[in-house]
Amino acid sequence: MSENTETTGSGDKVKLKISAERINQFSCTKCASTIDTGTQEIFSSTVCPSCGASQLVPGQMGDFLIYEVLGRGAISVVFRALDTRDGQTVALKVSHRIGRKPVEFYDDYLGEAKATSFLNHPNIVHIFGYGFANRYPYIAMEIVEGGNLKDLITKNLWLSEKRVMKIALDITQGLHVALLAGIVHGDMKPANILNHRDEVYKIADFGNWNMKGNLENPRIWGTPYYIAPEKVEHKIEDSRSDIYSLGATLWHALSGYPPHEGKSVSEVIQAHVREEVPDLQHANITISVGAGAVVKKMMASDPRDRFQNYPELISAIEQVLAEEQLRSTLPGSTPAEEI
């Protein structure tokens, strides 16, 4: 066994808290030529002798050959990996908290996979399997190559109304399917909305999920910039809490900044409870009255004033998109740029 290292852009080594087995050779990810690794460390940089492509030395973790680090968080690392059983490339989310948490932690960690692995919908990241590899709990998921909404906002500052409403429609449809299975996401935010090929958007990371029967005792908060007021006040949450968080996410995407900001996390959280939703059209004068009204209703402080179900919200979003399409056909109109 060997402790993995991740090569950063500067060439420095950053220790990862996950161990994998060293392998002697592997196939180049570009040209499929065999590369001998010799005594090279896992995740150290190497160059293919045939095509010259630079890549990381993979390691073996259970049935998976892990090639590179796609992302990392407080408790997990996500690898691009090859499932050697069927040759499928997956995103392998692995907890590096082995031996540091009670059994309940592993139940919660794998709860996301257990609850959502049977969901098959184009707007939900598909889960292929879950279990333990080298004693570490893992979740094997489909790889979504187009980045996430957070990255898009950072790159473009803000996105066009047409694009954001299309994203909203995709995500609302995915949330509706999850709710029909009894699942509330619990942490809707830009980073959990992934851009698949052909501009199909998918919901990721049901790690804060709650089953409908457990909503009176929600175990995990959401993200401060997008958290629903009832979660802040430890009140009963339901699908309308996800609608609020999605609304705050859309507000951010349409304006370029979150609806509520502050000097501290506490200030941001309390703003969701105490302050009115800022005027979206004031933040971005290009936003239509219809889109502004939909986002404002999604973010109503009282859940009873929001859209009460997903079909109702889907209908409202489709109406905004239809109105935008009609405006684009009027004489003298300029088609909206797809930013």
CA-closest candidate to residue 33, choices 20, 43, 22, 46 = 46
Q: Look at strands 183-184 and 88-95 and give their pairing.
A: unpaired
- For residue 207, which phi and psi values (nearest 5 degrees)? -65, -20
Give the C-alpha separation, 28 to 284, whole Å. 47
Active site annotation includes 187: yes
CA dihedral in degrees (86, 91, 96, 98; nearest 10)? Answer: -40
CA-closest candidate to residue 168, choices 292, 300, 314, 336 = 314
CA-closest candidate to residue 172, choices 335, 272, 280, 320 = 320
Element (H, E) at 328: helix 310-329
Paired residues of 19 in beta bridges: 3
Residue 306 class from Cβ within 10 Å (0-12 exposed, 13-18 middle, 19+ buried)?
buried
In the set 36, 151, 187, 242, the catalytic residue is 187
Contact 128, 141 (CB under 8 A): yes
Paired residues of 92 in beta bridges: 79, 140
Q: What order do you get walking across the sheet with 76-83 strand by strand?
A: 2-7, 13-22, 59-61, 64-72, 76-83, 88-95, 136-141, 127-133
Element (H, E) at 55: strand 54-56
The catalytic site residues sit at: 187
